[in-house]
Amino acid sequence: MEQNLEKLCDKELFQIIHDNDEFSEKAFTELYNRYSPFVYAYCRRFLNNTEWAEDIFQETFLNFHQGLKKISEMTNLKGYLLSIARNLCYNYVRDFKFNISYEDFSTVIDDSRNENDELLELIKRAIDLMPDDLRELFILREYDGMSYLEIADITDSNVNTVKVKLFRAKQKLRKILEPYIQDISNYE
């Protein structure tokens, strides 16, 4: 059984952990190995800070492990872990958010970087300037490649709301980047 854990589906691994089977620790490790890169990437993109992301990432799996006995069946483990991470990220941002001013944003260009690095940095900063709810949806759709339905499930919204908010997020991003895009187009 021990060597076959990696062949088991999430639901079977969850049941082993929930039933406190002799292989529960190894089953948890298998689930951790499957989903830790995804959860960490989400935290990193949402918080845009490696140290904070590592803390929230660890807390996500700790909360998951501690809450296992409260849940009898798991149908979408990836979504469940992401929901935990999402709530922790929002709580962290709510409690410790540092506001980025528009003036700070406009000083992002560093002459020593090449143009691609500057553009990537501008986009990162523009995403940081978005309201939290729009930034989250943008990250889930554009970085993580999730469908509207998956995003709606994770954020406890309906699909139409997700579509509208994603449209607004893209508009907001364009508006933030507009002065820089204009500036670039003047040089071409």
| Cα–Cα dist 126/120, whole Å | 10
Burial state string for 76-94 with b = 16 or more CB within 10 A and e = fewer than 16: ebbbbbbbbbbebbeebbe
Q: What tokens appear for 86 in the block?
A: 């999402």
Angle between helices 24-47 and 50-66 (to 10 degrees): 140
Along the 188 residues of the chain, how does pLDDT read in single tens digits? 555 888 888 888 888 887 877 888 888 888 899 999 999 999 988 888 888 889 899 999 989 988 887 887 788 888 889 889 989 998 888 777 554 444 444 444 444 345 566 667 777 888 888 888 888 888 888 888 888 888 888 888 898 889 898 888 888 888 877 777 666 656 55
Say how many residues make up the chain.
Answer: 188
- Ordered domains of the chain (ranges, CATH): 1-98 (1.10.1740.10), 103-188 (1.10.10.10)
CA distance 188 to 13: 56
Radius of gyration of the chain (CA): 20
